[in-house]
Structure 1
Amino acid sequence: MKAFWCLFALGIFLQIPEGQAQCPPPFETFVLGGSGVEFCLYFDMEVKRDWHEGRTACQSLGSDLADLDYEDLHWQVISYIHKHQECPPGFKVYILRESGMEMCLNFASDVRRDWHEGRKYCKSLGAELACLDYEDLHLQVIDDLYRTQDMLDEGFHVGCTDEVTEGEWLWTDGTKVNLSSCHWYPGQPDSVENQNYCCLYQNNYLYSSCPNGMKLFTLCMI
């Protein structure tokens, strides 16, 4: 059984009718890890489109907008994108040891910014404040920081906050943060109301809740 999808550059996923024996060019095959169902995805990176333009373009292929809520399909798509993208200037490539997925990180150490200023800066680069909850990425970052003498006494803002609801930590994409993971420093995050932003703090570089308005360097990720 196959289902057919295509992906446009703005993150728009589209479906074309079932019934074909194999993925038609230029679609590629993705196999779900649990059921073995095969999906055909098309990554069109030539033209950036808005939502309606993307839908029109895929309808010209006999397809329509779709979602990725099928087992591990979304994760496979994320992995594919990271493996096939090139990090822009100023970003360093990190390769996850288990999956081989590539992540692009920028250590913005030119100016110390508060959390919101840092996020605005990341967005100006086409990036977002970093989330390091990917396999061994956090460990690789910590190792790099320990190897960089100029960074040893510095901290970095990363992309989660509980500014909306005290104690409810969310990533910038709205997903909940795992507060029991080993990424957090013991005892963190605390329940202090004026410490609403996550950072990698000096000496250990585990997640900590840092005071509002605190000026740190910024860690951006694509």
Structure 2
Amino acid sequence: MKFLFRKTARPLGTVAVGIDAAAVTPNPCPDGFVNFSMDASTPVCLKFAMYGKGTWENQRAFCKTLGADLVILEGNLHDQVVEYINDHEYMTDEGFWIGGSDAAQEGHFVWVDGTDMPMGTPHWYITQPNGGTAQNYVGLYTPDFYFHDLNNDKKIYSICQI
């Protein structure tokens, strides 16, 4: 399957070439987090947690130890994350848990903050969700990085968000 998301610009940090370092805006995110913000006033700090693979529940607990939670990928942020993954070759063969689940009510997917997840395109893979009660958790999965409901015991990496 070919990557179908459009390419979008995203700020990954600041590079100062021939600029006074004092004039450069520092990354507002904690160390190890990448700022995906579209403007300086609202940082969107994400960490691609690739220390070890785990289930959705294990990875959510890990994010919480960082003062974060699994990422909520709405709107253009999904495009930005997919582009980031595709720009980092070591990530392109991996899957990542995100903050969506229908564990509380089968077929009703919600984000970790309790808000409803958008269903269908452009976020979900065309045949997804399709796993019933054996697949209650949502991940970005190779090769397309659309939303997929995955087996409850699947062990993959995660993306944490502050």
TM-score (norm 2): 0.79
Q: Within 5 A, what are the aligned runs for 1:19-30?
A: none
| Residue of structure 2 aligned with 1:141, choices 78, 81, 95 | 81
For residue 169 of structure 1, what is the aligned residue in structure 2? 109
Runs of 4+ in 1 over 3 A off after TM superposition: none
For residue 193 of structure 1, what is the aligned residue in structure 2? 133
Q: Is the 8 A contact 2:140 2:147 kept in 1?
A: yes
Q: Residues of 1 paired with 2:131 and 2:78: CA distance? A: 24
The structural deviation recorded for 1:143 is: 0.8
RMSD: 1.8
Q: Does 1:210 align with 2:150?
A: yes
For residue 94 of structure 1, what is the aligned residue in structure 2? 36
Q: Is the 8 A contact 2:131 2:150 kept in 1?
A: no
The structural deviation recorded for 1:206 is: 0.9
Higher strand share: 1
Q: Does 1:119 align with 2:64?
A: no
Q: Is the 8 A contact 1:166 1:191 kept in 2?
A: no
Q: Is the 8 A contact 1:96 1:136 kept in 2?
A: no
Q: Residues of 2 paired with 1:157 and 1:216: CA distance? A: 7
| Residue of structure 2 aligned with 1:180, choices 106, 120, 124 | 120
For residue 10 of structure 2, what is the aligned residue in structure 1? none
| Residue of structure 2 aligned with 1:107, choices 41, 48, 60 | 48
Q: Is the 8 A contact 1:112 1:216 kept in 2?
A: yes
The structural deviation recorded for 1:148 is: 0.9
Q: Residues of 1 paired with 2:53 and 2:110: CA distance? A: 23
What SS does the corresponding residue of 1:176 show, helix, strand or coil? coil
Which of the pair has the greater relative contact order for Cα pairs under 8 Å at 6+ separation?
2
For residue 14 of structure 2, what is the aligned residue in structure 1? none
The structural deviation recorded for 1:100 is: 6.8
Q: Is the 8 A contact 2:136 2:149 kept in 1?
A: yes
Alpha-carbon displacement from aligned partner over 1:61-85 (angstroms, at most 9, x marks no partner) = xxxxxxxxxxxxxxxxxxxxxxxx9
Q: Within 5 A, what are the aligned runs for 1:4-19?
A: none
Which ranges in structure 2 are unaligned for 5 or more consecutive residues? 1-26
The size of the alignment, in residue pairs, is 136
For residue 60 of structure 1, what is the aligned residue in structure 2? none
Q: Is the 8 A contact 1:96 1:137 kept in 2?
A: no
Which ranges in structure 1 are unaligned for 5 or more consecutive residues? 1-84
Q: Is the 8 A contact 1:167 1:191 kept in 2?
A: no
For residue 9 of structure 2, what is the aligned residue in structure 1? none
What SS does the corresponding residue of 2:104 show, helix, strand or coil? coil
Q: Is the 8 A contact 2:138 2:150 kept in 1?
A: yes
Q: Is the 8 A contact 1:106 1:219 kept in 2?
A: yes
Q: Is the 8 A contact 2:120 2:126 kept in 1?
A: no
Q: Does 1:158 align with 2:98?
A: yes
